[in-house]
Amino acid sequence: MSFLMLNIATRSLAAQQLAMDVTAQNLANATTPGYDRQIANLTPGPEQPMGGYNAANGPSELGDGVSVASVSQATDAFLTRSVTAQTSLAGNWSATSEALQQLQSLFQEPSSTGLAEAMDAFFGAWQTLSQNPASVSAEQAVLGQAQQLTSAFQNISDQLTSLQANLNQTVVSEVGQINSLAQQIADTNQSITEVGIASHPNDLLDQQNQLVTELSKLVNVTYATSASGATDVYIGAHALVLGSQTSALTTVQDPNSGFEDVQWADGSQANIQAGELYGNLSVRGQSVNGTFTGYIPTYLTQLNALAAGLANAVNQLQSSGYAPYGSAPTGLPFFTSGASGTLTAGSIQLNPTLAANPQLVASASAPNSPGDGSNALAVADLAQSNTITYPGQAASGTFDNFWSALVGQVGLDGQSALNRQQTTQTTLAGLQNQLQSEVGVNPDEESVNLIQEEQSYRAAVQVITSEQSSMSALLAAIA
């Protein structure tokens, strides 16, 4: 009688204990984000020739017990890549839609503080003036409504530019986050190569996955696992992380727009196509082939064109018209651009000379005609003129048509960003669930495994007890 049985039982005890440790680890990390379920791979021990009685056919072979060959991870590289790519898309539309939602309320109509109402009230005041051109209170009303109109323009313009400034700050901080995540990935790569991929550093690999997924939310990345187990990360074709080395992204201020452009530290262009960084850049505006394009720059251009078109049309009539007691055309513009040169929605203001001298409002078309309100009538009728031209815009049309086209554009952009956010989010959730299905921990399954392992452990103990009693019986016979 040999001690082989004891050996086998001992090996079994050790193997089942390790298997139970793995099960315990799985149960403990059932809800840890990024945790891939670990599997204790049991293999039978190597076979050995046994002395047997059938020597004619050669010795039989018997394995000597069970051992845990390795503790591996459940992974699905394909699904993980899909999740990473989709995370970038979802991040892109989530950031875009969030930013666009912020400026929806600026363009809300009908609204008592909206631009359409301000324009209607302004031209309405001119209409009232035309019925009573020499009335000081009617002149004051025109100037008062003009102030409201300029504030409405300035308000929208200011809110848009301040959102741009916010997004600019966010872009800078996101670039910092990307660099920091890249550094963490590089450090983890270092640890993995030190431990060696053959030793299955499962927790380090989980950490690696988490970092790459977090990174993909911010910017579009592709990655490849090298033979040493390190993950190389690329943005476009340029490497972000190679083994334990990183290349940094930096921000450089564009002299024309004043906003930060994102590029690599070595000066090459960064190919950013998705992720929250791209979403924020597309709303704030970025230089593409020399032109500064984006959602907000487009809205600002249109708003400025509206302000300039309106100012030009009114200025012309004010300048060529006569004040009620004027003997010559006033020659004054109604709207000026304040300190800055070009007249934009942000710089438009009422001519201070007119503000101080309401009697210079040009209501008449002939000299010394305090009862003539025909010029005021002409200004009021600008509200329905569809031959107004807007600087830099091909289309001409009425003020409220131009404004409603802009509002429609803003609404449409916001709506479609919301829709895409929802779609990409739903697809991402589906992919994440699929991935979970492959690599996630099911506590019920682990409980069943635990029962099996416990029983095997008990069986091994039973074998030891039985070997013990057999040995005692044998010794008792001899002694």
Partner 1 sequence: MRITPEIMSQVLLQSVNQTQAQLTQLEQQASTGQAFQLPSDNPAAVTQSISFTHGLALVSQYQQGVTAAQGWLNTADSALAQGEQVWEQVMQVANEGANSTVNAGDVLTLQTQVQSAEQNLGSIANEQYQGSYLFAGTANQTPPWDAATSTWSGNGGSILVQVGASTTVGVNVDGSTLFPQLFSDLKALNTALGQGPSAVQALMPQLQTDLNALTDARTQVGSTLALVNQQSSQLTSLQQDLEKNLANVTGANMANVTTELAQEETVYQAALSSGAQILPLSLANFLNP
**By C-beta, is 48 or 447 nearer to partner 1?**
447
Candidates 63-71, 196-204, 296-304, 442-450 — which segment interacts with partner 1 by CB under 8 A? Answer: 442-450
* Amino acid sitting at position 275: G
The nearest distance, CB 411 to partner 1, in angstroms, is 3
End-to-end CA distance of the chain: give it in Å, rounded: 16
Give the residue among 110, 112, 125, 99 at the shortest CA–CA distance from 152.
112
Alpha carbon distance 185, 245 (integer Å): 9
Candidates 14-22, 261-269, 326-334, 424-432 — which segment interacts with partner 1 by CB under 8 A? Answer: 424-432
Instruction: Check residue 64 for interaction with partner 1 (CB under 8 A).
Output: no
Candidates 16-24, 130-138, 222-230, 263-271 — which segment interacts with partner 1 by CB under 8 A? Answer: 130-138
**By C-beta, is 37 or 284 nearer to partner 1?**
37
Q: Please report, for residues 210, 415, 429, the alpha-carbon distance to residue 426 in angstroms, rounded to integers and kept in the order given.
A: 20, 17, 5
How far does Cα 84 stand from its chain's mean position?
A: 13
Token pair 């003020």: residue? 399
The binding track of 278-317 with respect to partner 1, each residue x by CB under 8 A or -, is ----------------------------------------
Rg (CA), the chain: 39
Torsion sign (Cα): 205, 211, 216, 219: negative
Instruction: Check residue 204 for interaction with partner 1 (CB under 8 A).
Output: no
Copy the structure tokens of residue 231: 């993950």
Instruction: Check residue 110 for interaction with partner 1 (CB under 8 A).
Output: yes
Task: Say if CB 376 and CB 383 are below 8 A apart.
Answer: no
Instruction: Check residue 24 for interaction with partner 1 (CB under 8 A).
Output: no
Token pair 């564009």: residue? 254
Task: Say if CB 204 and CB 188 are below 8 A apart.
Answer: yes
Instruction: Check residue 107 for interaction with partner 1 (CB under 8 A).
Output: yes
The nearest distance, CB 228 to partner 1, in angstroms, is 31
Q: Residues 6 or more apart from 15 whose CB is under 8 A from it? A: 42, 65, 66, 67, 68
Alpha carbon distance 413, 419 (integer Å): 10
The nearest distance, CB 327 to partner 1, in angstroms, is 13
Instruction: Check residue 135 for interaction with partner 1 (CB under 8 A).
Output: yes
Instruction: Check residue 124 for interaction with partner 1 (CB under 8 A).
Output: yes
Instruction: Check residue 104 for interaction with partner 1 (CB under 8 A).
Output: yes
Alpha carbon distance 467, 461 (integer Å): 10
Window 449 to 478, contacts with partner 1 (CB under 8 A): 451
**By C-beta, is 107 or 278 nearer to partner 1?**
107
Instruction: Check residue 79 for interaction with partner 1 (CB under 8 A).
Output: no
Candidates 65-73, 273-281, 352-360, 369-377 — which segment interacts with partner 1 by CB under 8 A? Answer: 369-377
Instruction: Check residue 100 for interaction with partner 1 (CB under 8 A).
Output: yes
Instruction: Check residue 108 for interaction with partner 1 (CB under 8 A).
Output: yes
**Residues, the chain, total?**
479
Give the residue among 58, 42, 60 at the shortest CA–CA distance from 4.
60
Copy the structure tokens of residue 265: 């530290």
Residues of this chain that bind partner 1 (CB under 8 A): 30-31, 100-101, 104-105, 107-110, 116-117, 120-121, 123-124, 127-128, 130-132, 134-135, 324, 364, 366, 368-374, 377, 380-381, 383-384, 400-401, 403-405, 407-415, 418, 426, 429, 432-434, 436-438, 440-445, 447-448, 451
